[in-house]
Amino acid sequence: MKHLTDIEHLSKEEILEIIDLAKKFKANSAQSEVGGKTVALMFYENSTRTRCSFEIAAKKLGANVINFEAKSSSLSKGESLKDTIENLYYLGVDAVVIRHSLAGIVENTRAQVKYPISFINAGDGSHAHPSQALLDFYTMLEKTGSVEGKKVVIVGDIKHSRVARSNIALLSKFGADIHLCSPEYLAFENTECFKATVHRDLKTAIKDADIVMLLRVQNERLEYEVFPDSFEYKRLYEVDSKLLKEYASPNVILMHPGPANRNIEVSSELLDNKIGRTILEQAQNGVFVRMAILNKLLKEGSEAHYAS
């Protein structure tokens, strides 16, 4: 495993290895094997959780971190991402963590770069967010032990969600009972390539749910002409304590990748009550999962800098 660009490329065994190592990092019972390696964080889209947790994870492993500023880099003079990354490799960078609004750019650039630098996809457009799915899976296992047969309901802007795509890919491998709930204009156009039950009605969707994962409406990717007002969305799709209590399983786990829009997809009171704390635990687990990812990739990845 040299790269993490998509969950689809990982076997169940590789996923479980990452989860196991993350558990050890959380319990303080694993040592970094990648001290002194160098990681460049290349974020072309805004981020709080992913960027900070990759930086904290790299630093906890004793790796060096470069916060690559896209706006002030030579990309603004027309240099391609491929050329930039090849130069970073020759400067001594072992891995690049990339977030970008273009779906597929991480995998496409990886295929063009000639040198053994590791690529990590930190979210590319609506395509994939593999480290998010891994930390979500870690949190689900920590809370429930197994996802096999569990009813996992993903609610919200599924159409534009890289988190939904990566979670579906991962949860399908482990036998979860996947349900998707959204208005038609925020649903996947094609659901034939995976097994999931599609809902429009929120109450039906969350009935007896073991895990409810909420998604933000991604205003930055919306075609405005098809989106009705937020009040209508809130009326039909906002999840609050009363709704969860009435319809979901008594031990339901509430998740959200963040950032959450209070009082749109989730009520403020639910976010601030005990059940909402899992969302912060997801963010915390992200540090340990990203330590495991970086340790695994940097150990198994680039070895020969200054290749001729």
Which ranges of the chain does DSSP label H, i.e. alpha helix? 12-26, 49-60, 81-91, 105-112, 130-144, 162-173, 202-206, 230-237, 241-247, 268-272, 277-300
Choose the binding region for ligand CP from 11-19, 47-55, 203-211, 223-231 (rule: CB under 6 A). 47-55
| Other Cβ atoms closer than 10 A to 146 | 11
**Please, which residue, 47 or 64, has the CB nearer to ligand CP?**
47
**Please, which residue, 9 or 49, has the CB nearer to ligand CP?**
49
Q: Which of 9, 24, 49, 221 binds ligand CP (CB under 6 A)?
A: 49
Beta carbon of residue 123, minimum distance to ligand CP (angstroms, whole number): 6
161 binding ligand CP? (CB under 6 A): no
Q: What is the DSSP letter of 224?
A: G
156 binding ligand CP? (CB under 6 A): no
**Please, which residue, 286 or 301, has the CB nearer to ligand CP?**
286
Residues paired with 151 in a beta bridge: 177
**Are 255 and 286 spatial neighbours (Cβ–Cβ below 8 Å)?**
no
Q: Which of 258, 281, 284, 305 binds ligand CP (CB under 6 A)?
A: 258
Beta carbon of residue 220, minimum distance to ligand CP (angstroms, whole number): 11
* Peptide linkage before 259 cis (omega within 30 of 0): yes
Q: In the stretch 98-137, what mask flags binding to ligand CP with x, by CB under 6 A? A: -------------------------x--------x-----
Tell me, rounded to whole angstroms, the distance of Cα 161 from its chain centroid.
10
Starting at the edge strand found earlier in the chain, the sheet holding 95-100 runs 64-68, 38-43, 95-100, 118-124
Choose the binding region for ligand CP from 20-28, 149-157, 255-263, 294-302 (rule: CB under 6 A). 255-263
183 binding ligand CP? (CB under 6 A): no
Tell me the site size for ligand CP, rule CB under 6 A.
10
The DSSP secondary structure of 230-273, one letter per residue, reads HHHHHHHH-B-HHHHHHHS-TT-EEE--S---BTTTB-HHHHHS
Binding site for ligand CP (CB under 6 A): 47-51, 123, 132, 257-259
